[in-house]
């Protein structure tokens, strides 16, 4: 990036850039943490047994809005991956479980969706939904049911005092003895956590499509909520690039980028050894405008040397302190479908074999193939009662089989680079500058040349076929090409245009070969300069 980013004085976690960021308020992190701190000890133990403990103990991370927006603009909804000059990158289940601390093993978060949730919301939460055909509960009403009537700071109230007041209010409202009231309190809190943080919506209300799963609280420890989080995030990334920000737990994207793309310099390491790994980072403050930051991030991503990308950043981690990682390990390194009710999206681990320490093999890049697939988006069908365990049985079976293990016999990444360049070309560049990287340029030119040769061969076959048909047509009319009814006249015109196009392709092929030879020579000269000892002064 062009300028060095230095932390400013003051509260290190205060958001800078867009003040009172929409992303910052969307998670409701501070309120949820205050209520969590006000829960009775036995409720905290219940949440720990359900697997939510590590996630709920996370401290708030200031949102890096520019980084999140830049990443979203590089998301390809067809293959569910980021497109960078060095290839695909995808947040995986290992990233999700290590960074957020939510389990990624167990039962898929799925079931039946309904046209109205009024009955379960009244019965399980003692509240009301926004409308007759709605799955949304007012956030303020849900918070008030947990004791936090007002989450606004009072005049002259500091952050610590604000949090203490909300915690005291929540503690006073919670039932202390086990029974229906206790279960209702826990369901309300889980609805706020899941509907606001894990599966957050773009607006203020809290979604509760998952509420039927909360009816039997004793089974909550069976579900893979980290998988639902990742599926929801993928779905949000696939929305129109004109929509700013993402819904869901976007801090996962931030910390994923901090680990895999350290050259961006967007995060500052802290708290060495803390787990989950989100605890180890804070956002590096940036005083520049949001648009300027996004542009600089794109420029940096376009120029990062391939060798500076960290594909395996977790090597050497002490997994003994992260039991949720050990439980999820059987699901790592596999192509698998991710489930969150009507959101069912693929995790293409095979596109990022380098995260497994493998050379990247050439694969068929995923595209939309089936009528029910909408790239990057969830299934549609929530306007009626739908049992997703039936509707997506094939994908659910895949999850229960733990997907397909990714293997690679490739000895280098070169073939992949060529195929990647042929498929995406200049699409992988988003910045305002185009650096000369000879190695990348060679791979790109080779890919384009290969594609041109294929087009040339295909067009040559068409020309040969047209010429053969023209010869037959001329023989039919005895060579009388001037006749108005001469069937060869139109064929001759088409053949002539095809031959002109073929000549242009051959000319383009020669230009590409010349450019490739020049770039290859330049790379050799640059390599020689890099290897040459520095002149002694």
pLDDT value of residue 536: 36
Q: What is the mean pLDDT of residues 442-464?
A: 77
User: pLDDT tens digits for 201-226?
Assistant: 877 899 999 999 999 999 999 999 99
Confidence of residue 448 (pLDDT cuts 50, 70, 90): confident
Answer yes or no: is pLDDT of 50 > 70.
yes
DSSP string, 28-67: -HHHHHHHHHHS-HHHHHHHHHHT-HHHHTPPP----HHH
Answer yes or no: is pLDDT of 102 > 90.
yes
What is the C-alpha to C-alpha distance for residues 185 and 145, in angstroms, rounded to an integer? 8
Confidence of residue 295 (pLDDT cuts 50, 70, 90): very high
pLDDT value of residue 215: 97
Least confident of 127-131, 369-373, 469-473: 369-373
Distances (CA, A) of 309 to 121, 283, 440: 47, 19, 14
- For 423, other C-beta atoms within 10 Å of its C-beta total 16
Answer yes or no: is pLDDT of 21 > 70.
no
pLDDT value of residue 119: 94
Distances (CA, A) of 264 to 19, 283, 300, 305: 22, 12, 7, 12
Please report, rounded to a whole number, the percentage of residues in the chain having pLDDT higher than 70: 84
Answer yes or no: is pLDDT of 489 > 80.
no
Contact 23, 71 (CB under 8 A): no
Please report, rounded to a whole number, the percentage of residues in the chain having pLDDT higher than 90: 58
Q: Compare 494 and 195 and report the one with higher pLDDT.
A: 195
pLDDT value of residue 225: 98
Query: Which backbone phi and psi does 106 adopt, to 5 degrees?
Result: 110, -155
Structure tokens, 478: 């005895």
Structure tokens, 120: 């379960």
Answer yes or no: is pLDDT of 430 > 80.
yes
pLDDT value of residue 382: 54
Q: What is the mean pLDDT of residues 398-414?
A: 95
Structure tokens, 489: 């006249």
Q: What is the mean pLDDT of residues 160-166?
A: 95
pLDDT value of residue 358: 96
Q: Compare 424 and 192 and report the one with higher pLDDT.
A: 192
Answer yes or no: is pLDDT of 316 > 80.
yes
Proportion of the chain in helix, strand, coil states, percent, rounded to 5: 50, 5, 40
Phi-psi region of 140 (alpha: psi -120 to 50; beta: other; left: phi over 0): alpha
Confidence of residue 46 (pLDDT cuts 50, 70, 90): very high
Q: What is the mean pLDDT of residues 400-411?
A: 96
User: pLDDT tens digits for 240-260?
Assistant: 655 666 788 999 999 999 999
Confidence of residue 531 (pLDDT cuts 50, 70, 90): very low
Answer yes or no: is pLDDT of 537 > 50.
no
Contact 254, 283 (CB under 8 A): yes
The listed range with the strongest mean pLDDT (8-17, 26-35, 49-58, 357-366) is 49-58
User: pLDDT tens digits for 361-383?
Assistant: 998 887 654 444 443 345 544 56
pLDDT value of residue 440: 63
pLDDT value of residue 469: 82
Confidence of residue 453 (pLDDT cuts 50, 70, 90): confident
pLDDT value of residue 18: 38
Q: What is the mean pLDDT of residues 469-481?
A: 70
**H/E run at residue 113:** strand 112-113
Q: What is the mean pLDDT of residues 49-64?
A: 95
> Is the pTM for the entire model greater than 0.85?
no
Answer yes or no: is pLDDT of 527 > 70.
no
Confidence of residue 274 (pLDDT cuts 50, 70, 90): very high
Least confident of 125-139, 273-287, 302-316: 125-139
What is the C-alpha to C-alpha distance for residues 114 and 132, in angstroms, rounded to an integer? 11
Q: Compare 115 and 442 and report the one with higher pLDDT.
A: 115
Q: Which of 434, 428, 424, 425 minimizes the C-alpha distance to 299?
A: 434
Secondary structure class of 394 (helix, strand, coil)? helix
**H/E run at residue 268:** strand 267-269
Looking at every residue in the chain, the average pLDDT score rounds to 85
């Amino acid at each position: 990036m062009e300028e060095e980013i230095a932390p400013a004085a003051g509260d290190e976690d205060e958001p800078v850039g867009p003040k009172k960021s929409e992303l910052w308020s969307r998670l409701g992190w501070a309120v949820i943490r205050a209520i969590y701190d006000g829960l009775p000890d036995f409720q905290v133990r219940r949440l720990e047994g359900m697997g939510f403990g590590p996630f709920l103990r996370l401290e708030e991370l200031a949102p890096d809005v520019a980084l999140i927006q830049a990443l979203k603009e590089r998301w390809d909804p067809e293959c569910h991956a980021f497109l960078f000059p060095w290839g695909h990158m995808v947040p995986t289940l290992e990233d999700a479980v290590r960074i957020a601390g939510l389990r990624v093993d167990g039962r898929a978060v799925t079931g039946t969706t309904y046209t109205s949730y009024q009955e379960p919301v009244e019965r399980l939460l003692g509240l009301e939904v926004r409308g007759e055909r709605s799955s949304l509960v007012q956030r303020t009403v849900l918070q008030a049911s947990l004791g936090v009537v007002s989450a606004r700071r009072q005049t002259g109230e500091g952050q610590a005092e604000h949090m203490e007041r909300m915690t005291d209010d929540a503690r006073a409202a919670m039932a202390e003895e086990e029974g229906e009231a206790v279960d209702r309190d826990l369901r309300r809190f889980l609805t706020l956590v899941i509907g606001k943080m894990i599966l957050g919506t773009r607006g203020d209300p809290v979604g509760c499509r998952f509420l039927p799963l909360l009816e039997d609280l004793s089974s909550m420890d069976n579900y893979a909520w980290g998988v639902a989080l990742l599926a929801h995030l993928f779905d949000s990334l696939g929305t129109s690039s004109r929509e700013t920000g993402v819904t869901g737990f976007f801090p996962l994207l931030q910390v994923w980028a901090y680990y895999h793309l350290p050259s961006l310099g967007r995060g500052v390491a802290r708290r060495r050894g803390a787990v989950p790994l989100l605890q180890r980072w804070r956002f590096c403050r940036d005083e520049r405008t949001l648009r300027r930051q996004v542009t600089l991030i794109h420029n940096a991503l376009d120029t990062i040397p391939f060798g500076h990308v960290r594909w395996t950043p977790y090597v050497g981690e002490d997994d003994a302190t992260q039991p949720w990682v050990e439980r999820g390990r059987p699901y790592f390194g596999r192509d698998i479908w991710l489930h969150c009710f009507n959101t069912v999206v693929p995790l293409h681990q095979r596109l990022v074999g380098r995260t497994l320490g493998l050379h990247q093999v050439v694969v068929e890049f995923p595209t939309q193939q089936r009528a029910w697939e909408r790239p990057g988006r969830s299934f549609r069908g929530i306007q009626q009662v739908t049992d997703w365990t039936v509707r997506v049985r094939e994908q659910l079976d895949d999850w229960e089989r733990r997907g397909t293990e990714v293997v690679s016999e490739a000895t280098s990444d070169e073939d992949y680079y060529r195929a990647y360049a042929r498929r995406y070309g200049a699409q992988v560049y988003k910045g305002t500058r185009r650096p000369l990287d000879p190695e990348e340029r060679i791979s790109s030119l080779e890919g384009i040349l290969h594609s041109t040769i294929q087009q040339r061969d295909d067009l040559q076959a068409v020309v040969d076929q047209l010429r053969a048909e023209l010869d037959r047509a001329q023989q039919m009319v005895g060579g009388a090409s001037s006749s108005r009814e001469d069937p060869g006249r139109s064929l001759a015109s088409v053949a002539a245009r095809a031959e002109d196009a073929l000549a242009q392709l051959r000319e383009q092929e020669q230009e590409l070969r010349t450019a490739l030879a020049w770039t290859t020579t330049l790379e050799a000269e640059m390599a020689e300069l890099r290897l040459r000892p520095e002149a002694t002064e």
